[in-house]
Amino acid sequence: MKLYRENEETSSDDKNKRVAFASDLVVTPEGNVKDAIAAFEDIDNYGIYVSRMRNKKEIDAAVEKHFGPPGFKRKTLEKERGKPFPIKTKQAVDDFIKSILSKPSLLKYKVEGNSIIFPQASNPGKEETKKVIQTVLDNAKIKFSLSKKENIKEIIRQYVKEAIQRA
pLDDT, one tens digit per residue, over 59-86 is: 888 989 999 988 888 888 999 999 999 9
Run of H or E residues at 147: strand 144-150
Domain total of the chain: 1
Q: Does residue 166 fall inside a structural domain?
A: no
Q: What is the pLDDT of residue 2?
A: 45
pLDDT at 20 over 60: no
CB 137 within 8 A of CB 39: yes
Rounded to 5 degrees, φ, ψ at 25 are: -95, 140
Q: What is the pLDDT of residue 28?
A: 95
Task: Please give the average per-residue pLDDT across 125-154, as a whole number.
Answer: 91
Q: Does residue 119 fall inside a structural domain?
A: no
Q: What is the pLDDT of residue 91?
A: 92
Position 16 confidence tier, pLDDT thresholds 50, 70, 90: very low
Distance separating alpha carbons of residues 97 and 16, to the nearest angstrom:
42
Q: Does residue 27 fall inside a structural domain?
A: no
Average confidence score pLDDT of the chain? 84
Q: What is the pLDDT of residue 18?
A: 47
Distance separating alpha carbons of residues 144 and 64, to the nearest angstrom:
38
Which of 29-38, 64-73, 111-120 is the least confident region? Answer: 64-73
Q: What is the pLDDT of residue 21?
A: 59
Q: Going edge to edge, which strands form the sheet with 23-29?
A: 110-112, 115-118, 23-29, 144-150
Q: Does residue 58 fall inside a structural domain?
A: yes
**Pick from 3, 2, 1: nearest CA to 155:** 3
CB 132 within 8 A of CB 126: no
pLDDT at 33 over 90: yes
Between the CA of residue 5 and those of 15, 105, 151, 153, what are the distances in Å? 12, 30, 11, 14
Q: In which domain, by residue range, is 58 found?
A: 48-103
Q: What is the pLDDT of residue 12?
A: 46
Q: Does residue 91 fall inside a structural domain?
A: yes
Position 53 confidence tier, pLDDT thresholds 50, 70, 90: confident
Q: Does residue 99 fall inside a structural domain?
A: yes
**Pick from 38, 47, 43, 50: nearest CA to 111:** 38
